[in-house]
A and B are shown apart, each in its own frame.
Chain A
Amino acid sequence: MLSLCVSLDVTAIRRQFPALQKSEQFVYLDTAASAQKPETVLRAMDAFSRQQYANVHRGLYPHSDEATDRYELARESVRSFVNAQHRAEIIFTKGTTESLNLIARSWGHATLKKGDAVALTLLEHHSNIVPWLQLKEEKGIEVVWIGIDEQGHVDRKELSRILRKGNIRLLSMTGLSNVLGIRPPIADIIAEAHRSEALVAIDAAQLIGHHAVSVQELDCDFLAFSGHKVYGPTGIGALYAKRELLRSMPPFLGGGMMIREVRQDGFIAADAPQKFEAGTPPIIEAVGLTAALEWLGKIQWKDIEAHEAALMKTAYATLKTIPGVRILGPRRFEEACGCVSFVCESAHPHDLSELLGQEGFCLRAGHHCAQPLHEHLGIPASLRVSLALYNTEEEVRSLGPAIMRAVKTLIG
Protein backbone atom coordinates (compact mmCIF):
# COMPACT_ATOMS: atom_id res chain seq x y z
CA MET A 1 0.00 0.00 0.00
CA LEU A 2 1.20 3.45 -0.81
CA SER A 3 2.12 5.29 2.31
CA LEU A 4 1.66 9.01 2.21
CA CYS A 5 3.98 10.80 4.55
CA VAL A 6 2.10 13.57 6.24
CA SER A 7 3.99 16.14 8.21
CA LEU A 8 1.29 18.77 8.35
CA ASP A 9 -0.05 19.53 11.81
CA VAL A 10 -3.71 19.72 10.89
CA THR A 11 -4.84 20.24 14.46
CA ALA A 12 -2.69 23.33 14.73
CA ILE A 13 -3.89 24.55 11.35
CA ARG A 14 -7.53 24.06 12.25
CA ARG A 15 -7.07 26.09 15.40
CA GLN A 16 -6.18 29.07 13.22
CA PHE A 17 -9.60 29.07 11.54
CA PRO A 18 -12.33 30.72 13.63
CA ALA A 19 -15.01 29.25 11.34
CA LEU A 20 -13.87 25.74 12.25
CA GLN A 21 -14.37 26.28 15.98
CA LYS A 22 -18.14 25.90 16.02
CA SER A 23 -19.60 23.86 18.83
CA GLU A 24 -21.95 21.96 16.54
CA GLN A 25 -20.68 19.57 13.87
CA PHE A 26 -19.29 21.49 10.92
CA VAL A 27 -17.55 19.42 8.26
CA TYR A 28 -16.60 21.89 5.59
CA LEU A 29 -16.08 20.07 2.32
CA ASP A 30 -16.78 22.98 0.00
CA THR A 31 -13.46 24.77 -0.26
CA ALA A 32 -13.59 24.49 -4.05
CA ALA A 33 -16.45 27.01 -3.85
CA SER A 34 -14.69 29.17 -1.28
CA ALA A 35 -12.12 28.63 1.44
CA GLN A 36 -12.51 29.52 5.10
CA LYS A 37 -10.17 32.26 6.30
CA PRO A 38 -7.44 31.97 8.92
CA GLU A 39 -7.43 34.36 11.86
CA THR A 40 -4.40 36.20 10.50
CA VAL A 41 -6.32 37.24 7.38
CA LEU A 42 -9.28 38.49 9.40
CA ARG A 43 -6.99 40.33 11.81
CA ALA A 44 -4.97 41.97 9.06
CA MET A 45 -8.09 43.32 7.38
CA ASP A 46 -9.58 44.46 10.63
CA ALA A 47 -6.44 46.20 11.88
CA PHE A 48 -5.86 47.90 8.55
CA SER A 49 -9.48 49.08 8.40
CA ARG A 50 -9.30 50.46 11.90
CA GLN A 51 -5.90 52.08 11.84
CA GLN A 52 -4.50 52.72 8.41
CA TYR A 53 -7.36 52.89 6.00
CA ALA A 54 -7.45 55.49 3.24
CA ASN A 55 -7.84 55.41 -0.51
CA VAL A 56 -4.79 54.56 -2.58
CA HIS A 57 -2.81 56.55 -5.12
CA ARG A 58 -4.77 59.67 -4.20
CA GLY A 59 -4.12 61.78 -1.14
CA LEU A 60 -0.74 63.28 -0.45
CA TYR A 61 -0.93 62.53 3.23
CA PRO A 62 0.71 59.76 5.23
CA HIS A 63 -2.32 57.46 5.59
CA SER A 64 -2.95 57.41 1.89
CA ASP A 65 0.69 56.69 1.29
CA GLU A 66 0.56 53.83 3.70
CA ALA A 67 -2.58 52.41 2.08
CA THR A 68 -0.90 52.68 -1.31
CA ASP A 69 2.13 50.86 0.03
CA ARG A 70 0.00 48.08 1.44
CA TYR A 71 -1.91 47.76 -1.82
CA GLU A 72 1.28 47.59 -3.84
CA LEU A 73 2.74 45.17 -1.32
CA ALA A 74 -0.19 42.89 -2.15
CA ARG A 75 0.80 43.09 -5.79
CA GLU A 76 4.30 42.06 -4.83
CA SER A 77 2.90 39.15 -2.76
CA VAL A 78 0.93 37.91 -5.73
CA ARG A 79 3.88 38.38 -8.07
CA SER A 80 6.05 36.31 -5.84
CA PHE A 81 3.31 33.74 -5.20
CA VAL A 82 2.85 33.00 -8.91
CA ASN A 83 6.51 33.71 -9.66
CA ALA A 84 5.92 36.39 -12.25
CA GLN A 85 8.90 38.36 -13.45
CA HIS A 86 7.43 41.83 -13.04
CA ARG A 87 5.07 43.37 -10.55
CA ALA A 88 3.33 45.27 -13.35
CA GLU A 89 2.23 41.96 -14.80
CA ILE A 90 -0.22 41.53 -11.92
CA ILE A 91 -3.61 43.18 -12.29
CA PHE A 92 -6.06 43.15 -9.43
CA THR A 93 -9.61 42.19 -10.29
CA LYS A 94 -12.67 41.04 -8.42
CA GLY A 95 -11.71 37.42 -9.01
CA THR A 96 -11.18 34.76 -11.63
CA THR A 97 -14.40 35.63 -13.41
CA GLU A 98 -13.43 39.24 -13.89
CA SER A 99 -9.88 38.26 -14.84
CA LEU A 100 -11.11 35.97 -17.60
CA ASN A 101 -13.59 38.58 -18.78
CA LEU A 102 -10.79 41.10 -18.86
CA ILE A 103 -8.83 38.89 -21.25
CA ALA A 104 -11.85 38.49 -23.50
CA ARG A 105 -12.99 42.13 -23.36
CA SER A 106 -9.59 43.70 -23.73
CA TRP A 107 -7.24 41.34 -25.53
CA GLY A 108 -9.96 39.33 -27.27
CA HIS A 109 -11.96 42.28 -28.41
CA ALA A 110 -8.96 44.15 -29.77
CA THR A 111 -7.17 41.22 -31.35
CA LEU A 112 -9.65 38.63 -32.56
CA LYS A 113 -11.31 38.84 -35.93
CA LYS A 114 -13.97 36.80 -37.63
CA GLY A 115 -12.47 33.42 -38.48
CA ASP A 116 -10.14 33.42 -35.48
CA ALA A 117 -10.82 30.77 -32.88
CA VAL A 118 -10.55 30.33 -29.14
CA ALA A 119 -10.19 26.75 -27.91
CA LEU A 120 -11.67 25.55 -24.63
CA THR A 121 -11.80 22.15 -22.98
CA LEU A 122 -14.96 20.45 -21.80
CA LEU A 123 -13.69 20.84 -18.24
CA GLU A 124 -14.22 24.58 -18.17
CA HIS A 125 -16.15 26.59 -15.61
CA HIS A 126 -18.80 28.94 -17.00
CA SER A 127 -16.53 31.90 -16.32
CA ASN A 128 -14.14 30.52 -18.90
CA ILE A 129 -16.91 29.80 -21.39
CA VAL A 130 -19.39 32.64 -21.42
CA PRO A 131 -16.94 35.50 -22.11
CA TRP A 132 -15.80 33.63 -25.22
CA LEU A 133 -19.36 32.88 -26.32
CA GLN A 134 -20.07 36.59 -25.93
CA LEU A 135 -17.16 37.36 -28.25
CA LYS A 136 -18.50 34.75 -30.64
CA GLU A 137 -21.83 36.58 -30.71
CA GLU A 138 -20.23 39.98 -31.07
CA LYS A 139 -17.38 39.33 -33.44
CA GLY A 140 -18.15 36.03 -35.08
CA ILE A 141 -15.09 34.28 -33.68
CA GLU A 142 -15.18 30.53 -33.42
CA VAL A 143 -15.27 28.72 -30.07
CA VAL A 144 -13.76 25.28 -30.48
CA TRP A 145 -14.20 22.56 -27.86
CA ILE A 146 -11.55 20.02 -26.94
CA GLY A 147 -12.98 16.75 -25.67
CA ILE A 148 -12.08 14.68 -22.65
CA ASP A 149 -12.13 10.95 -22.00
CA GLU A 150 -14.42 9.31 -19.45
CA GLN A 151 -11.97 10.09 -16.66
CA GLY A 152 -11.57 13.72 -17.62
CA HIS A 153 -8.20 13.55 -19.40
CA VAL A 154 -7.99 16.17 -22.11
CA ASP A 155 -7.96 14.55 -25.55
CA ARG A 156 -4.45 15.41 -26.65
CA LYS A 157 -4.92 14.07 -30.17
CA GLU A 158 -7.93 16.28 -30.67
CA LEU A 159 -6.05 19.20 -29.15
CA SER A 160 -3.17 18.70 -31.58
CA ARG A 161 -5.54 18.39 -34.50
CA ILE A 162 -7.35 21.56 -33.50
CA LEU A 163 -4.11 23.46 -33.03
CA ARG A 164 -2.92 22.38 -36.46
CA LYS A 165 -5.92 24.09 -38.04
CA GLY A 166 -3.92 27.25 -37.56
CA ASN A 167 -6.70 29.63 -36.57
CA ILE A 168 -6.53 29.05 -32.83
CA ARG A 169 -5.37 32.33 -31.35
CA LEU A 170 -5.95 31.40 -27.74
CA LEU A 171 -6.34 28.22 -25.75
CA SER A 172 -8.11 29.06 -22.52
CA MET A 173 -8.24 26.19 -20.07
CA THR A 174 -8.42 25.19 -16.46
CA GLY A 175 -5.34 24.16 -14.52
CA LEU A 176 -7.44 21.93 -12.27
CA SER A 177 -11.03 20.87 -12.79
CA ASN A 178 -13.50 22.17 -10.22
CA VAL A 179 -15.64 19.09 -10.77
CA LEU A 180 -13.46 16.10 -11.61
CA GLY A 181 -10.37 17.15 -9.70
CA ILE A 182 -8.29 16.26 -12.73
CA ARG A 183 -5.20 18.27 -13.43
CA PRO A 184 -4.44 18.61 -17.13
CA PRO A 185 -0.72 18.62 -18.00
CA ILE A 186 -0.75 22.34 -18.67
CA ALA A 187 3.02 22.87 -18.97
CA ASP A 188 3.15 20.41 -21.83
CA ILE A 189 -0.01 21.72 -23.43
CA ILE A 190 1.20 25.33 -23.23
CA ALA A 191 4.43 24.38 -25.02
CA GLU A 192 2.46 22.62 -27.74
CA ALA A 193 0.04 25.55 -28.17
CA HIS A 194 2.96 27.95 -28.45
CA ARG A 195 4.46 25.86 -31.25
CA SER A 196 1.21 26.56 -33.11
CA GLU A 197 1.45 30.22 -32.20
CA ALA A 198 -1.60 30.12 -29.98
CA LEU A 199 -1.54 31.99 -26.69
CA VAL A 200 -2.62 30.20 -23.54
CA ALA A 201 -4.74 31.46 -20.64
CA ILE A 202 -4.90 29.34 -17.51
CA ASP A 203 -7.90 29.41 -15.20
CA ALA A 204 -6.06 28.75 -11.96
CA ALA A 205 -9.06 29.29 -9.66
CA GLN A 206 -8.70 25.77 -8.29
CA LEU A 207 -5.06 25.06 -9.03
CA ILE A 208 -3.79 28.01 -7.03
CA GLY A 209 -4.75 26.62 -3.62
CA HIS A 210 -3.42 23.11 -4.14
CA HIS A 211 -0.11 23.33 -5.96
CA ALA A 212 2.73 25.76 -6.49
CA VAL A 213 2.22 27.83 -9.61
CA SER A 214 5.05 29.45 -11.52
CA VAL A 215 3.94 31.46 -14.50
CA GLN A 216 7.53 31.71 -15.69
CA GLU A 217 8.02 27.98 -15.68
CA LEU A 218 4.63 27.34 -17.24
CA ASP A 219 5.25 30.12 -19.72
CA CYS A 220 1.49 30.77 -19.86
CA ASP A 221 0.41 34.07 -21.37
CA PHE A 222 -2.40 34.74 -18.92
CA LEU A 223 -3.33 33.25 -15.58
CA ALA A 224 -6.39 34.03 -13.50
CA PHE A 225 -7.27 33.28 -9.90
CA SER A 226 -9.44 34.40 -6.97
CA GLY A 227 -8.31 35.37 -3.49
CA HIS A 228 -11.15 33.58 -1.74
CA LYS A 229 -9.98 30.17 -2.91
CA VAL A 230 -6.52 30.62 -1.38
CA TYR A 231 -7.82 31.32 2.12
CA GLY A 232 -8.09 35.03 1.38
CA PRO A 233 -11.08 37.37 1.20
CA THR A 234 -13.75 37.60 -1.48
CA GLY A 235 -13.82 40.59 -3.78
CA ILE A 236 -10.23 40.33 -4.94
CA GLY A 237 -8.42 38.22 -7.47
CA ALA A 238 -5.70 38.67 -10.00
CA LEU A 239 -4.87 38.39 -13.61
CA TYR A 240 -1.30 37.69 -14.60
CA ALA A 241 -0.44 38.62 -18.17
CA LYS A 242 2.90 38.85 -19.93
CA ARG A 243 4.18 42.38 -20.06
CA GLU A 244 4.28 42.64 -23.85
CA LEU A 245 0.63 41.62 -24.04
CA LEU A 246 -0.45 44.19 -21.48
CA ARG A 247 1.34 46.94 -23.40
CA SER A 248 -0.82 46.49 -26.46
CA MET A 249 -4.07 45.63 -24.71
CA PRO A 250 -6.64 48.43 -24.48
CA PRO A 251 -8.10 49.35 -21.08
CA PHE A 252 -10.91 47.23 -19.71
CA LEU A 253 -13.14 49.56 -17.68
CA GLY A 254 -12.84 53.33 -17.90
CA GLY A 255 -12.66 55.65 -14.92
CA GLY A 256 -10.31 56.96 -12.28
CA MET A 257 -6.87 55.42 -11.79
CA MET A 258 -6.64 53.97 -15.27
CA ILE A 259 -5.72 57.20 -17.02
CA ARG A 260 -2.67 59.35 -17.39
CA GLU A 261 -4.59 62.26 -18.77
CA VAL A 262 -8.19 63.11 -19.60
CA ARG A 263 -9.26 65.98 -21.83
CA GLN A 264 -12.65 66.96 -23.16
CA ASP A 265 -12.00 65.11 -26.37
CA GLY A 266 -10.05 62.11 -25.28
CA PHE A 267 -7.81 60.37 -22.80
CA ILE A 268 -4.46 58.73 -22.52
CA ALA A 269 -4.45 55.48 -20.58
CA ALA A 270 -2.01 54.88 -17.77
CA ASP A 271 0.50 52.06 -18.07
CA ALA A 272 -0.22 48.56 -16.81
CA PRO A 273 -1.27 47.57 -14.26
CA GLN A 274 -3.20 50.80 -13.49
CA LYS A 275 -4.54 50.82 -17.05
CA PHE A 276 -6.70 47.86 -16.10
CA GLU A 277 -7.68 48.91 -12.60
CA ALA A 278 -10.32 51.60 -13.00
CA GLY A 279 -11.96 52.93 -9.88
CA THR A 280 -11.18 52.48 -6.21
CA PRO A 281 -9.70 49.00 -5.92
CA PRO A 282 -10.39 46.38 -3.23
CA ILE A 283 -7.86 47.83 -0.79
CA ILE A 284 -8.86 46.05 2.41
CA GLU A 285 -9.17 42.82 0.48
CA ALA A 286 -5.68 43.33 -0.93
CA VAL A 287 -4.36 43.52 2.62
CA GLY A 288 -6.25 40.32 3.41
CA LEU A 289 -4.87 38.62 0.34
CA THR A 290 -1.32 39.53 1.34
CA ALA A 291 -1.94 37.96 4.73
CA ALA A 292 -3.40 34.83 3.16
CA LEU A 293 -0.50 34.34 0.78
CA GLU A 294 2.00 34.96 3.56
CA TRP A 295 0.19 32.45 5.73
CA LEU A 296 0.09 29.85 2.97
CA GLY A 297 3.69 30.61 2.11
CA LYS A 298 4.79 29.40 5.52
CA ILE A 299 3.52 25.92 4.76
CA GLN A 300 5.51 23.74 2.40
CA TRP A 301 3.71 22.80 -0.80
CA LYS A 302 4.96 19.25 -0.49
CA ASP A 303 3.23 18.98 2.90
CA ILE A 304 -0.01 20.41 1.55
CA GLU A 305 0.12 18.04 -1.41
CA ALA A 306 0.85 15.01 0.78
CA HIS A 307 -1.94 15.86 3.19
CA GLU A 308 -4.47 16.50 0.45
CA ALA A 309 -3.45 13.31 -1.37
CA ALA A 310 -4.08 11.37 1.84
CA LEU A 311 -7.49 13.03 2.10
CA MET A 312 -8.25 12.16 -1.49
CA LYS A 313 -7.25 8.57 -0.92
CA THR A 314 -9.67 8.43 2.01
CA ALA A 315 -12.39 10.15 -0.02
CA TYR A 316 -12.10 7.61 -2.83
CA ALA A 317 -12.02 4.69 -0.40
CA THR A 318 -15.02 6.07 1.49
CA LEU A 319 -17.14 6.77 -1.56
CA LYS A 320 -16.32 3.41 -3.11
CA THR A 321 -17.83 1.55 -0.18
CA ILE A 322 -21.24 3.20 -0.64
CA PRO A 323 -23.64 1.14 -2.74
CA GLY A 324 -24.89 2.99 -5.81
CA VAL A 325 -22.26 5.71 -5.68
CA ARG A 326 -20.37 6.41 -8.89
CA ILE A 327 -17.28 8.59 -8.80
CA LEU A 328 -16.96 10.90 -11.79
CA GLY A 329 -13.48 11.60 -13.06
CA PRO A 330 -10.20 9.78 -12.54
CA ARG A 331 -10.37 6.11 -11.59
CA ARG A 332 -7.23 6.42 -9.47
CA PHE A 333 -7.24 8.77 -6.52
CA GLU A 334 -3.64 9.68 -7.31
CA GLU A 335 -4.86 11.54 -10.36
CA ALA A 336 -7.46 13.57 -8.50
CA CYS A 337 -6.75 16.67 -6.51
CA GLY A 338 -8.82 19.20 -4.65
CA CYS A 339 -12.20 17.68 -5.30
CA VAL A 340 -14.06 14.54 -6.23
CA SER A 341 -17.61 14.53 -7.55
CA PHE A 342 -20.05 11.69 -7.59
CA VAL A 343 -23.61 10.69 -8.24
CA CYS A 344 -25.70 8.25 -6.30
CA GLU A 345 -28.11 5.97 -8.11
CA SER A 346 -30.96 6.28 -5.68
CA ALA A 347 -30.67 9.87 -4.50
CA HIS A 348 -30.67 13.23 -6.20
CA PRO A 349 -27.60 15.36 -5.37
CA HIS A 350 -29.80 18.14 -3.99
CA ASP A 351 -31.51 15.84 -1.54
CA LEU A 352 -28.23 14.36 -0.40
CA SER A 353 -26.66 17.77 0.02
CA GLU A 354 -29.69 18.98 1.99
CA LEU A 355 -29.76 15.96 4.29
CA LEU A 356 -25.98 16.02 4.77
CA GLY A 357 -26.26 19.72 5.53
CA GLN A 358 -28.65 18.95 8.35
CA GLU A 359 -25.83 16.94 9.93
CA GLY A 360 -23.30 19.72 9.39
CA PHE A 361 -21.63 18.33 6.26
CA CYS A 362 -21.17 21.11 3.72
CA LEU A 363 -20.99 19.72 0.19
CA ARG A 364 -22.06 21.39 -2.98
CA ALA A 365 -24.68 19.88 -5.24
CA GLY A 366 -25.51 21.00 -8.74
CA HIS A 367 -23.55 21.46 -11.93
CA HIS A 368 -20.84 23.52 -10.23
CA CYS A 369 -20.95 26.11 -13.01
CA ALA A 370 -19.84 23.48 -15.50
CA GLN A 371 -22.95 22.65 -17.49
CA PRO A 372 -21.22 21.59 -20.71
CA LEU A 373 -19.17 19.12 -18.66
CA HIS A 374 -22.26 17.71 -16.95
CA GLU A 375 -24.03 17.44 -20.26
CA HIS A 376 -21.04 15.56 -21.61
CA LEU A 377 -21.15 13.24 -18.59
CA GLY A 378 -24.86 12.74 -19.21
CA ILE A 379 -25.98 13.88 -15.77
CA PRO A 380 -27.87 17.01 -14.73
CA ALA A 381 -26.05 17.44 -11.43
CA SER A 382 -23.50 15.91 -9.11
CA LEU A 383 -22.37 16.13 -5.53
CA ARG A 384 -18.88 17.40 -4.83
CA VAL A 385 -16.53 16.76 -1.95
CA SER A 386 -13.78 19.31 -1.98
CA LEU A 387 -10.74 19.09 0.21
CA ALA A 388 -8.43 21.59 1.79
CA LEU A 389 -5.48 21.60 4.10
CA TYR A 390 -7.71 22.05 7.16
CA ASN A 391 -9.76 18.91 6.49
CA THR A 392 -9.03 15.71 8.36
CA GLU A 393 -9.22 12.09 7.33
CA GLU A 394 -11.78 11.50 10.08
CA GLU A 395 -14.02 14.16 8.55
CA VAL A 396 -13.82 12.54 5.16
CA ARG A 397 -14.33 9.06 6.59
CA SER A 398 -17.39 10.17 8.55
CA LEU A 399 -18.99 11.25 5.31
CA GLY A 400 -19.52 7.60 4.33
CA PRO A 401 -22.04 6.67 7.04
CA ALA A 402 -23.65 10.10 6.70
CA ILE A 403 -24.32 9.52 2.99
CA MET A 404 -25.71 6.09 3.76
CA ARG A 405 -28.03 7.57 6.39
CA ALA A 406 -29.23 10.20 3.93
CA VAL A 407 -29.91 7.61 1.23
CA LYS A 408 -31.79 5.51 3.75
CA THR A 409 -33.96 8.49 4.67
CA LEU A 410 -34.76 9.08 1.03
CA ILE A 411 -35.45 5.60 -0.21
CA GLY A 412 -36.80 4.23 3.05
Chain B
Amino acid sequence: MDLYAEHILEHHRHPRQKSPIANRTIEHTENNPACGDAITLELKIVKEMITDCGWGGSGCALSQAGISMLVEKLKQMPIEDAISLSPEDMRALLGVPLTTRRLQCAFLPLLTLRNVIRKWKGKPLQTWAELFEEDLA
Protein backbone atom coordinates (compact mmCIF):
# COMPACT_ATOMS: atom_id res chain seq x y z
CA MET B 1 0.00 0.00 0.00
CA ASP B 2 1.05 3.56 -0.67
CA LEU B 3 2.02 6.04 2.02
CA TYR B 4 -0.71 8.31 0.68
CA ALA B 5 -3.45 5.76 1.12
CA GLU B 6 -7.02 7.03 1.04
CA HIS B 7 -7.44 6.92 4.83
CA ILE B 8 -4.32 9.03 5.37
CA LEU B 9 -5.40 11.57 2.80
CA GLU B 10 -8.92 11.62 4.20
CA HIS B 11 -7.65 12.49 7.70
CA HIS B 12 -5.24 15.01 6.20
CA ARG B 13 -8.05 16.75 4.34
CA HIS B 14 -10.54 16.52 7.20
CA PRO B 15 -8.58 16.49 10.45
CA ARG B 16 -10.57 15.38 13.53
CA GLN B 17 -10.70 17.38 16.73
CA LYS B 18 -8.29 19.96 15.40
CA SER B 19 -9.18 22.72 17.82
CA PRO B 20 -8.39 23.81 21.35
CA ILE B 21 -10.55 22.33 24.10
CA ALA B 22 -12.24 23.95 27.08
CA ASN B 23 -10.77 23.41 30.53
CA ARG B 24 -7.71 21.53 29.40
CA THR B 25 -5.57 19.95 32.07
CA ILE B 26 -2.32 20.02 30.15
CA GLU B 27 -0.87 20.82 26.75
CA HIS B 28 2.42 20.14 25.07
CA THR B 29 4.08 20.92 21.74
CA GLU B 30 6.59 18.77 19.92
CA ASN B 31 8.16 19.54 16.60
CA ASN B 32 10.26 17.97 13.99
CA PRO B 33 13.11 20.37 13.41
CA ALA B 34 14.10 18.75 10.14
CA CYS B 35 10.94 19.85 8.38
CA GLY B 36 9.14 22.15 10.74
CA ASP B 37 6.21 19.87 11.48
CA ALA B 38 4.66 20.78 14.81
CA ILE B 39 1.88 19.34 16.93
CA THR B 40 0.33 20.76 20.07
CA LEU B 41 -1.80 18.29 21.96
CA GLU B 42 -4.25 19.31 24.69
CA LEU B 43 -5.75 16.84 27.14
CA LYS B 44 -8.43 17.11 29.74
CA ILE B 45 -7.70 14.51 32.35
CA VAL B 46 -10.22 13.50 35.01
CA LYS B 47 -9.39 10.75 37.46
CA GLU B 48 -6.55 9.33 35.35
CA MET B 49 -8.83 9.27 32.32
CA ILE B 50 -8.60 11.36 29.13
CA THR B 51 -12.06 12.87 28.94
CA ASP B 52 -11.37 15.30 26.12
CA CYS B 53 -8.60 16.15 23.73
CA GLY B 54 -7.83 18.52 20.91
CA TRP B 55 -4.84 19.52 18.91
CA GLY B 56 -3.31 22.10 16.67
CA GLY B 57 -0.35 22.08 14.35
CA SER B 58 0.95 22.16 10.86
CA GLY B 59 3.06 19.91 8.76
CA CYS B 60 3.03 17.12 6.25
CA ALA B 61 0.07 14.88 5.54
CA LEU B 62 1.56 11.98 7.47
CA SER B 63 2.16 13.77 10.76
CA GLN B 64 -1.15 15.61 10.59
CA ALA B 65 -3.19 12.56 9.61
CA GLY B 66 -1.39 10.60 12.30
CA ILE B 67 -2.38 12.93 15.11
CA SER B 68 -5.92 13.14 13.75
CA MET B 69 -6.17 9.34 13.84
CA LEU B 70 -4.56 9.16 17.26
CA VAL B 71 -6.88 11.64 18.98
CA GLU B 72 -9.87 9.66 17.80
CA LYS B 73 -8.67 6.80 19.96
CA LEU B 74 -7.76 8.86 22.99
CA LYS B 75 -11.12 9.98 24.27
CA GLN B 76 -12.16 8.01 27.33
CA MET B 77 -8.83 6.22 27.37
CA PRO B 78 -7.15 5.66 30.76
CA ILE B 79 -3.87 7.55 31.00
CA GLU B 80 -1.99 4.33 31.66
CA ASP B 81 -3.25 2.87 28.40
CA ALA B 82 -2.41 6.04 26.52
CA ILE B 83 1.16 6.17 27.77
CA SER B 84 1.72 2.56 26.89
CA LEU B 85 0.81 3.06 23.22
CA SER B 86 3.95 1.89 21.43
CA PRO B 87 5.67 2.75 18.16
CA GLU B 88 4.27 -0.52 16.93
CA ASP B 89 0.76 0.64 17.81
CA MET B 90 1.44 3.87 15.92
CA ARG B 91 2.59 1.91 12.87
CA ALA B 92 -0.54 -0.21 13.07
CA LEU B 93 -2.74 2.85 13.45
CA LEU B 94 -1.23 4.50 10.36
CA GLY B 95 -1.44 1.23 8.48
CA VAL B 96 0.88 2.28 5.66
CA PRO B 97 4.46 1.23 4.93
CA LEU B 98 6.92 3.65 6.52
CA THR B 99 10.30 4.50 5.07
CA THR B 100 13.21 5.66 7.19
CA ARG B 101 12.95 9.18 5.84
CA ARG B 102 9.39 9.52 7.11
CA LEU B 103 9.71 7.93 10.55
CA GLN B 104 9.92 11.27 12.33
CA CYS B 105 6.75 12.44 10.61
CA ALA B 106 5.02 9.18 11.54
CA PHE B 107 6.09 9.21 15.17
CA LEU B 108 5.65 12.90 15.91
CA PRO B 109 2.04 12.32 17.11
CA LEU B 110 3.20 9.54 19.44
CA LEU B 111 6.08 11.57 20.84
CA THR B 112 3.69 14.44 21.50
CA LEU B 113 1.28 12.14 23.30
CA ARG B 114 4.01 10.53 25.37
CA ASN B 115 5.40 13.88 26.40
CA VAL B 116 2.13 15.60 27.18
CA ILE B 117 1.47 12.77 29.66
CA ARG B 118 5.01 12.79 31.01
CA LYS B 119 4.75 16.53 31.45
CA TRP B 120 1.50 16.05 33.37
CA LYS B 121 3.17 13.44 35.55
CA GLY B 122 6.15 15.69 36.10
CA LYS B 123 8.48 13.18 34.46
CA PRO B 124 11.39 14.02 32.14
CA LEU B 125 10.39 14.18 28.49
CA GLN B 126 11.15 11.37 26.10
CA THR B 127 13.67 11.99 23.33
CA TRP B 128 13.54 11.03 19.69
CA ALA B 129 16.47 8.68 20.24
CA GLU B 130 14.59 6.78 22.95
CA LEU B 131 11.52 6.50 20.79
CA PHE B 132 13.48 5.20 17.82
CA GLU B 133 15.29 2.70 19.99
CA GLU B 134 11.97 1.39 21.21
CA ASP B 135 10.78 1.13 17.62
CA LEU B 136 13.83 -0.92 16.66
CA ALA B 137 13.43 -3.30 19.59
Contacts and interface: CB of A to CB of B under 8 A. Distances in A.
A259 B62 CA distance: 53
Interface string A346-377: 00111100110010000001110001001000
Interface in B31-47: 33-38
B49 interface: no
A380 interface: yes
Interface centre among B9, B61, B105 (most CB of A within 10 A): B61
B4 interface: yes
Contact of B61 (A348, A371, A381): A348
A151 B9 CA distance: 34
A410 B35 contact: no
A355 B36 CA distance: 18
Interface residues of B, number: 19
Interface of A is mostly: helix
Interface size for chain A: under 10, 10 to 19, 20 to 34, or 35 or more residues?
A: 10 to 19
A371 B13 CA distance: 28
B79 interface: no
A349 B4 contact: no
Given A351-B61, A367-B36, A412 B4 contact: no
B3 interface: yes
Contacts of B60: 348-351, 354
B12 interface: yes
Given A366-B34, A367-B35, A367-B36, A412 B9 contact: yes
Interface in A367-412: 367, 371, 374, 379-381, 409-412
B56 interface: no
Interface of B: 2-4, 9, 12-13, 33-38, 58-62, 102, 105
Given A367-B35, A409-B4, 5 more contacts: A349-B35, A354-B3, A354-B60, A380-B36, A381-B36
Interface of A: 348-351, 354-355, 358, 365-367, 371, 374, 379-381, 409-412
